[in-house]
Amino acid sequence: MTRQIEAIGRKALCVKCDIASFSKAEFVVNVAVKAFGRLDILVNNAGMNWDGVCWKMSEELWDQVLDVNLKGYFNFTRHAASLLKEQKYGRIINITSINGMRGKFGQTKYSASKAGIIGYTKALAKELGAFGVTVNAVAPGLIETAILKASEARDKILALVMAEIVLKRVGQREDLANVIAFLASDRAKHVTGEVIKVDGGQYI
């Protein structure tokens, strides 16, 4: 991805980080500001899950998912928000999931973390709105990722999900990226506190 960005004449920087670490998130934000001079857009996109019903779930797995999917978003936002607030401009986009809106069997911890992101987004939008900072969430349904393509259960997953998708096509990464790009732009300057589904009608 870094090479692709640089190929079109833009500057790119890749930094490896444990998003669940408060101090490492601060380090990455500082590195980005030093490299680019300022910070305007934060997209919180890291996520993980371990499927399993609640009565078989370990405390360790619960904590791992919540630490990455919810606390990780706080970690980065905490260190970026003060910068955006001071410059009176910024865009924060949090990636949640339609399963945070409806819940899903076998994904209580994942659904809880993604639902938390929605509440966090709306509250944060109220806190930062007066400073010219918008905060929105994007809730994808099934997206054709490299992980899905490589999964041995891909065909089974697609068969189950296609029955839910109104548009009868699997979402592509570009479908999600286009909405994120809109929310990050000045075309969305009057949009905040929203949760936009990108799911081909899977939720309905």
Residues annotated catalytic, as ranges: 110
Helix (H) / strand (E) containing 41? strand 41-44
How far is CA 102 from its chain centroid? 17
Report the DSSP beta bridge partners of residue 41: 91
Q: How far is CA 157 from the centre of its chain?
A: 22
Neighbours of 137 (CB within 10 A): 29
The two tokens of residue 132 are: 């010219």
Q: How far is CA 153 from the centre of its chain?
A: 24
Phi and psi of 179, rounded to 5°? -70, -40
| Half-sphere exposure in the Cβ direction for 129 (13 Å, CA) | 13
Residue 22: enclosing H or E segment and its boundaries?
Answer: helix 22-36
